[in-house]
């Protein structure tokens, strides 16, 4: 739907005017940071509202970055997956929790070179390509640190080896805290946060740092990359404890969609609450059109 179509805010509109609070939130936005699973897609399928939402962003001139905690796939694999589903997106417009973890280790722990990883082959390749040496499941192959991701190839032996090194006091990092990965399949996809919980039960330790959402690192990367002020970018996602918490930590607007994990009641009761709650990306599209149409009408009046 185009910004110039009738039926939204303005003289003669059949719709009620956009509330001032929502207008103030949405009108300055020039870039959105979008979660994937539960917000835009489930597994290999775009949600029904996604295609129209992305078309609206293009029509309004709003750019976007996709951020995902799903470290079971590489950045390139995520980009390819989104393109298979019909999204027009460059790989550079995707930021994965693995990338945030690599950046953190490189900047904060330059002496850490040898890693014991819990993660699938694509995850391990990203670390080796960045110059880290990967340790085998061998008590003689001692790492500097343990890094835990969304390990879809997890084996009991490697889980036990990770617990052993964590129990020995090695530095310990994780990519993200998600307990499950959203899916439309008849299963539960046990995610990185559940592996962290298992390791805590076995070792008594939490990770020294968790670098994906809700850490603000990925949002800071987006703002710096595009030169954005806090009110020019918003985080759109379905999870309160990752997406919304990251937005609050980075001091940017938090927009909760209800097509994934969270309910309206949960969104309204949590503190701090999301700045805006919408049913899905389709409702957000309509509100953005209304906000931008308001701004266009106001600018015409000034001119």
pLDDT of residue 17: 79
CA distance linking residue 274 with residue 139, whole number of Å: 46
pTM comes to: 0.82
Length of the chain (residues): 303
Sign of CA dihedral 254, 85, 129, 148: positive
Taking the C-alpha atoms of residue 146 and residue 116, their distance in angstroms, rounded to an integer, is 5
What pLDDT score was predicted for residue 37? 86
Kindly tell me if the per-residue pLDDT of 298 is higher than 60: no
At 296, the pLDDT band (50, 70, 90 cuts) reads low
Q: How far is CA 35 from CA 38, 69, 113, 282, in A?
A: 8, 9, 31, 15
* Mean pLDDT, rounded, for 237-246: 94
pLDDT tens, residue by residue, 82-104: 999 999 999 999 999 999 999 89
Per-residue CA distances from 280 to 47, 206, 292 (Å)? 9, 34, 19
Q: Which of 165, 73, 151 is nearest to 116 (CA)?
A: 165
Q: Tell me what pLDDT residue 271 has.
A: 95
Could you check whether the bond before residue 148 is cis, i.e. omega within 30 degrees of 0? no
Domain residue extents for the chain = 1-11+44-229
Res 51: pLDDT: 94
Per-residue pLDDT tens over the stretch 14-53 = 556 789 999 999 999 999 999 998 899 987 889 999 999 9
* 3 state SS of 204: coil
Please state the separation of Cα 105 from the chain's center in Å. Answer: 20
State pLDDT tens for residues 171-226.
999 999 999 987 878 999 999 999 999 999 999 999 999 999 999 989 998 999 99
CATH 3.40.50.1000 fits 1-11+44-229, yes or no: yes
pLDDT tens for each residue of 105-157: 999 999 999 999 999 999 999 999 999 999 999 999 999 999 999 999 999 99
Q: Average per-residue pLDDT in the chain?
A: 91
User: Taking 60 as the threshold, does the pLDDT of residue 301 lie above it?
Assistant: no
């Amino acid at each position: 739907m185009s910004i110039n179509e009738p039926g939204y805010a303005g003289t003669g509109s059949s719709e009620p005017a956009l509330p001032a609070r929502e207008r103030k939130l949405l009108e300055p936005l020039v870039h959105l940071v979008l979660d994937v699973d539960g917000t835009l897609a489930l597994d290999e399928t775009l949600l029904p509202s996604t295609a129209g939402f992305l078309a609206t962003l293009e029509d309004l001139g709003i750019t976007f970055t996709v951020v995902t905690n799903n470290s079971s796939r590489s950045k390139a694999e995520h980009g390819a997956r989104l393109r298979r589903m019909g999204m027009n997106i460059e790989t550079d417009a995707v930021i994965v929790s693995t990338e945030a973890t690599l950046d953190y280790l490189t900047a904060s722990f330059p002496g850490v070179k040898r890693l014991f990883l819990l993660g699938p082959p694509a995850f391990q390749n990203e670390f080796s390509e960045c110059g880290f040496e990967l340790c085998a499941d061998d008590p003689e192959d001692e790492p500097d640190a343990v890094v835990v991701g969304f390990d879809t190839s997890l084996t009991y032996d490697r889980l036990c080896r990770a617990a052993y090194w964590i129990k020995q006091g090695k530095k310990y990092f994780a990519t993200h805290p998600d307990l499950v990965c959203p899916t439309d399949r008849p299963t539960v996809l046990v995610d990185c946060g559940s592996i962290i919980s298992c390791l805590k039960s076995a070792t008594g330790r939490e990770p020294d740092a968790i670098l994906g959402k809700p850490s603000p690192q990925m949002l800071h990367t987006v703002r710096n990359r595009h030169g954005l002020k806090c009110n020019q970018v918003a985080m759109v996602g379905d999870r309160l404890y990752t997406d919304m918490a990251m937005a609050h930590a980075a001091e940017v607007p938090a927009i909760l969609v209800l097509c994934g994990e969270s309910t309206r009641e949960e969104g309204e009761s949590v503190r701090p609450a999301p700045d805006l709650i919408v049913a899905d990306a389709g409702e957000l599209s309509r509100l953005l059109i209304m906000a931008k149409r308001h701004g266009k009408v106001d600018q015409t009046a000034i001119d």
